[in-house]
Structure 1
Amino acid sequence: MNRFYVAALVAAALLYAGPAAAEIIESEHGGFASSHSVIVAADRSAVWEELVHPEQWWSHTWSNDSANLHLESRAGGCFCESLPANGDWAAGSVEHMRVVMVMPGTMLRMSGSLGPLQSEGLVGTLTVTLSEDDGGIRITWDYIAGGQARFPVAQFGPVVDGVQAEFLGDLVNRLGGAVDQS
C-alpha cells in the first residue's frame, strides 16, 4: 500500500475542519456510516459537472496525481485511476468505485471500498445528492461501509469520515466555497 496515501488519510482525518455539517451516524455491526452536508452558491448543472470530474478535485490517489482519475458517469461505469509505472510498480490501474446509479443533476451512487479499506472484506457505498436550498445547492455526501476486516471497522470510521469530509471540502472549494449559514 502506498505509504503516502495512508499518511494523507490519517492527516486529513486529524486536520480537516471544513464548512460541512458532519457526523458518524452508526458505528456497530462491523461497519459505519458517515454523512456530510453543505450548501454552495452554484447552480445545479455546475455542481454536477464538477462532481463527475473528480480528476479536478479528488485529493487521495494511489498515483499521487488526481489527473490520473476518470469517472464514467453511467450505471456500470468505473471511477478508476491509471497507475503510471514508478519505482514501486509497473504501469497499472485501480478501480476506486463502480457507478451503480446516476440521476444527472440530482444523485450519483457508487459502490466500492476506498483506499486502505479496499484490501479488506468491506463494501462501501457513496451516495452524493444535490438538492435545492434557500442559499443555493445542498450537497449531501453519505458513505456507508461494512463487512469483515482485520481491524475494528467501527474504530476506523472517524478516520474515513475525516477523509470523506475532505473530499466534499475539495469539491466545495472547487465550486467557490460554502454559503455562510450563520
Structure 2
Amino acid sequence: MIRIALAALAFACLTTPAVAEVVERSADHFVLRYESITEGPMEDLPGVVGDMPLWWDPAHTYSGKADNLSISPVLGGCFCERLDDGSVFEHGRVQEWDAETGVLLHAALGPLHGKTNQADWSIGWTGAQPGVRVVMTYVVRGNGLGAYADAVDGVMQTQFYRMIRYLEYGEPA
C-alpha cells in the first residue's frame, strides 16, 4: 500500500498529466478529463489559452496551419479558424473567461461539428506556485457520439500536453 501511495505521489509531482482519460461513456455521450500539476505560472494561464495558435497541433486544423486559429477572450468570443479561401470557420464560442479560474467554450470540434447537443470544453486552474493544478474536460452529448470518444481523446490529449508544455517551456513540443 505504501508503494502505491509513493508511486502516486511521485506521479503527481511530474509536470505531465497525472490523469488523461475517458471518464464517462455511453452510446450518446462521453466525458474526457486531463489533469496536470505544473510549475508554470498560474497568472500566465489565461494568456496561454489565448495563445492557442502557438501550441495547437496544426495537424488538427482545417487549414493545416495553427497560425490561422484565434480565440477572443470575451463572453461570446469566437474560437475561429481563417481558411485559405478567406472564409472563417467557427469552431466554438466562449461561454466563460475568468482569469482567476478558467475558460469554458461551447465547441463541437472536428467531426463533432453539427452533430452535438452539447460540446462543452473547459480549462480550469487552481492552486499556487509551485503546483498549479490544470484540469481540462470535454463533455460531448449527441446521438451516437459515444463512438467518437477514443479518437477525440487522442486529439484532445495531444492538445493538453502541448498546452502544458507551452506554459512551462514556451514551446509546444
Q: TM-score range with shorter-chain normalisation?
A: 0.7 to 0.9
User: How does the TM-score come out when normalised to structure 2?
Assistant: 0.81
Correspondences of 1:1-182 after superposition (within 5 Å): 19-20=16-17, 21-28=19-26, 30-59=28-57, 60-85=60-85, 91-132=86-127, 135-148=130-143, 152-176=144-168
Q: How many residues align?
A: 152
Matching residue's letter, 1:136: G
Q: Does the CA contact (< 8 Å) of 1:24 and 1:32 recur in 2?
A: yes
Provide structure 1 residue ranges, at least 5 long, that are not aligned to the other structure: 1-17, 86-90, 178-182
- Specify the SS of the correspondent of 1:27: strand
Higher relative contact order (CA 8 A, sep 6+): 1
Matching residue's letter, 2:145: V
Aligned structure 1 segments of 4 or more residues deviating by more than 6 angstroms = none
Matching residue's letter, 2:168: G
After superposition, what is the alpha-carbon deviation per residue over 1:29-77, rounded to whole angstroms, capped at 9, x for unaligned?
A: 5110000001221111122211121011111211110111111111100
Aligned partners of 1:134 and 1:157: how far apart in 2? 33
User: How does the TM-score come out when normalised to structure 1?
Assistant: 0.77
Q: CA deviation at 1:24?
A: 1.2
Q: Does the CA contact (< 8 Å) of 1:113 and 1:122 recur in 2?
A: no
Matching residue's letter, 1:30: D
- Specify the SS of the correspondent of 2:168: coil
- Specify the SS of the correspondent of 2:75: coil
* Partner of residue 9, structure 2: none
Q: Does the CA contact (< 8 Å) of 1:126 and 1:144 recur in 2?
A: yes
Across the aligned residues of Structure 1 and Structure 2, the Cα RMSD in angstroms comes to: 1.8
Identity in percent? 24
